[in-house]
Structure 1
Amino acid sequence: MIVTKITDIAKLFWKEHINDRDIVLDATLGNGNDSLFLSKLVGSKGKVYSMDIQKKALDMTREKMDSSMSNINLILDSHENLDKYIKEKLSLVVFNLGYLPGENNEITTKSKSTLIALEKSMMLLKKGGIVSVAAYRGHDNGEEYIEVFKFLSTLDPKKYKVSLVNPINQSERAPRLFLCQKMKED
């Protein structure tokens, strides 16, 4: 397999980590590809929560879903409100920051709501669970990337292990992948 994108690398990690019956969150639904991939990983007894602030993202995903994907729960709301909908412990939380591909690039994820969502995700993450963040340095002058980097860098290393996948022979604007695993309960 030739890995060409950060999202491909992320999916390799998810595939190794996620099991049938797991409960996961796609906090930035976008075009739905991550949710569709996760739906297959968790199986019919698992659950995928999929959030986006744009109805178009939910509509596009709904069109791509088939009958085997009834485990996807589409939520029209900001990821900062994830705790209103999710009470279970999560095995994986996925953030693919930026904007909905092919749509209005003025509507983007924002540092403030993303940091709130990250904090809430850490609380809902089960021991061994992972938060996966694809962060793009190209939008908003890299502010959101910098804020996510600062937040994840300050997590207690006894409770969380954080890694950064940084493509070194690509543009400085190329996305980076953060992987954060919860090692201990709070």
Structure 2
Amino acid sequence: TLRPGHAQLAQTARLADLEQRLARVEQAVGATPAKLSRLGVGDHSLLATAQHLASRAALLDSAQLDAAESRLTTLLTKLDQVAEKTAAITGSSDPDRDKKINELYELAKKTEYLSQVLPQTLERMLALQELHQQGGEFAKALSEIESVQVQLMAKMRSNGETLASVEEGLKTSFATIKSNMEALDGRVKALSTKK
């Protein structure tokens, strides 16, 4: 019988021997990445490659294959049920309707940026609306001022004509008064010389 310490030492020695033999096999076979990559295991050692191949071979066990086939059958049945329910919900598959839905979706994606720009544009339009109203009121007031100016100009012309006529009348009246005064002065002088 071996003591527990010796048993462990013996096992370690066997593992070391196995690793040395495996290293010699790798050197002989050539564990280059190019050769190992053909096995689909990447840049691993022969031991890792052997373990990988053993796990793949275990998948080819008939019990494993039967279980996988059973699962696939169940999944296919469920997929068929989902497809039937989807068709029942959406109605019969209509290519035109699907095309229109896709077009609408693409249109929605293209105009998505408008949802970000639209609030700012709306605020600007509201601000401009007030400005346009003020501009309209200003134009109306300006039109009224022009109308009043035309009326004032007409009245000024009329007043100018009246003033000219009054001036003419005053000149005539002054001339008459002057002539009357001169005549009166002449009479007064004539009367004063007679006395």
TM-score range, shorter chain: under 0.3
| TM-score, normalising length: structure 2 | 0.13
Mark the structure with the bigger radius of gyration: 2
Quick check: which one's helix share is greater? 2
Looking at secondary structure, tell me which structure has more strand per residue: 1
**If the length of structure 1 is used for normalisation, what is the TM-score?**
0.13
